[in-house]
Amino acid sequence: MLGYEGKWAIHPSQIDLANEVFTPSEAEVTKARRVVEAMQQAAKEGKGAVSLDGRLIDIASIRMAEALLAKAKAVTG
């Protein structure tokens, strides 16, 4: 969300901390999944945007959610 995709680790002792900091939380993953599901439903209904929890979800939101889910998958396997 802040524009950071990773961190250079110059010492092996930094790896665990970097992984902890940059791994999406379970709450973030759950929210991203809900965003993707809401947009999939909206697409079935012919809509280009939808409201989720009182917030507008549009194509930018779906791209951010998909990127977060890809990051989570890459980290957890």
Tell me the β-bridge partners of 51. Answer: 56
Q: Is residue 50 part of a domain?
A: yes
In this predicted structure, the answer to whether residue 36 has a pLDDT above a threshold of 90 is yes
13 belongs to a structural domain: no
Structurally, the chain folds into a number of domains equal to 1
Give the range of the structural domain holding residue 35, as residue numbers without chain letter: 20-76
Average pLDDT over residues 5-30: 84
- pTM for this model (two decimals): 0.76
Q: Ranked by mean pLDDT, which of 6-10, 33-37, 49-53 comes out on top?
A: 33-37
Is 1 within the bounds of a domain? no
Residue 1 has pLDDT above 60, yes or no: no
Q: Is residue 64 part of a domain?
A: yes
- C-beta of residue 56 within 8 angstroms of C-beta of residue 64: no
Which pLDDT value is given to residue 2?
54
